[in-house]
């Protein structure tokens, strides 16, 4: 199913009203700024980003002083420049495959790092992935548009279930729905690259080309929804995606 860009933009623009103001939208991003990014930005992605530069969702509010906590989807995330609040985060860029192969869009409260695959050859933006500081990862959606559509549906469900008068009730309902979207995953068992070099499938053969024998490869093509992969490496790994993000690879990496 193809997700319509204009429909996604319209749905996102409605979230502040649906949520009673508990969802706020960041200002859209100018083309000149997107032109300066280290990855190409396709027109359909530009259409979204011109309209909204981020989505801030209130998940709790203190009954003592009114201070709020929120989840922020930031389409200008500083991680993409190797910096976050003054800290060098190039390790995370390398863990995700290296600068130019992805675009971070969300850092969640559970230390999950969410990014969109970017094809280095074509510039196409592909599936949305999340990793932690270990060797397990998930493909959350087949595209950024699908991921944003699911986010909008979670906000709508939370507003229906909990209302919008109580930020804490809304936040709990949203978090439950959002986690359900991410956790309804199918486990994909990776295989050793050495075992697929001579595979009948040309996609797997091509994905394995140039990788060391101890690298691992996960074929995500059979899975339509959320896919989870645990790479059994004793150390960390460097991820990469091939064939539009349909094949995920992991090479052992000591972090240096």
Integer Cα distance of 171 and 22 in angstroms: 9
Q: What is the average pLDDT across 165-174?
A: 95
Judge whether residue 2 has pLDDT over 60. Answer: no
What single DSSP character describes residue 110? T
Which CATH number fits the domain that encloses residue 102? 3.40.1580.10
pTM, 2 dp: 0.94
Last residue of a domain, one of 152, 168, 183: 183
Integer Cα distance of 97 and 103 in angstroms: 11
pLDDT digits (tens, 9 = 90+) for 3-23: 799 999 999 999 999 999 999
Integer Cα distance of 227 and 218 in angstroms: 10
Q: Kindly state whether residues 173 and 203 are assigned to the same domain.
A: no
Judge whether residue 235 has pLDDT over 90. Answer: no
Judge whether residue 240 has pLDDT over 60. Answer: yes
The model's confidence at residue 25, banded by pLDDT at 50, 70 and 90, is very high
Average predicted confidence (pLDDT) for the chain = 93
Q: Kindly state whether residues 195 and 169 are assigned to the same domain.
A: no
Number of structural domains in the chain: 2
Last residue of a domain, one of 183, 209, 233: 183
**Given this model, what pLDDT does residue 172 score?**
96
**Given this model, what pLDDT does residue 185 score?**
86
Q: Domain of residue 236: give its range.
A: 187-253
Q: By percentage, how much of the chain surpasses pLDDT 70?
A: 99
pLDDT digits (tens, 9 = 90+) for 62-106: 888 888 899 999 999 998 988 888 889 999 999 999 989 999 999
**Given this model, what pLDDT does residue 161 score?**
96
pLDDT digits (tens, 9 = 90+) for 114-137: 999 999 999 999 999 999 877 889
φ and ψ at residue 248, rounded to 5 degrees? -110, 130
Q: Kindly state whether residues 144 and 165 are assigned to the same domain.
A: yes
């Amino acid at each position: 199913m193809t997700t319509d860009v204009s429909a996604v933009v319209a749905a996102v623009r409605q979230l502040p009203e649906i949520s009673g103001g508990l969802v706020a939208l960041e200002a859209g991003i100018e083309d000149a700024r997107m032109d300066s990014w280290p990855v190409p930005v396709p027109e359909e992605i530009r259409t979204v980003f011109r309209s909204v530069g981020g989505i801030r969702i209130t998940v709790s509010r203190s009954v003592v002083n009114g201070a709020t906590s929120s989840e922020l989807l930031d389409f200008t995330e500083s991680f993409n420049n190797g910096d976050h609040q003054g800290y060098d985060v190039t390790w995370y860029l390398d863990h995700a495959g290296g600068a130019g192969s992805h675009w971070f869009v969300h850092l969640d409260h559970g230390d999950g790092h969410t990014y969109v695959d970017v094809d280095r050859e074509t510039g196409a933006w592909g599936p949305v992935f999340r990793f932690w500081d270990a060797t397990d990862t998930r493909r959350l959606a087949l595209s950024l548009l699908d991921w944003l559509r699911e986010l909008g549906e979670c906000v709508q469900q939370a507003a229906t279930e909990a209302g919008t008068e109580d930020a804490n009730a809304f936040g709990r309902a949203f978090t439950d729905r959002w986690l359900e979207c991410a956790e309804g995953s199918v486990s994909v068992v990776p295989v050793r690259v050495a075992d697929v070099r001579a595979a009948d499938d040309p996609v797997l053969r091509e994905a394995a080309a140039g990788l060391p024998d101890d690298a691992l490869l996960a074929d995500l093509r059979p899975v339509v929804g959320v896919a989870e992969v645990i790479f059994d490496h004793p150390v960390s790994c460097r991820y990469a995606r091939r064939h539009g993000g349909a094949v995920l690879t992991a090479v052992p990496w000591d972090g240096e």
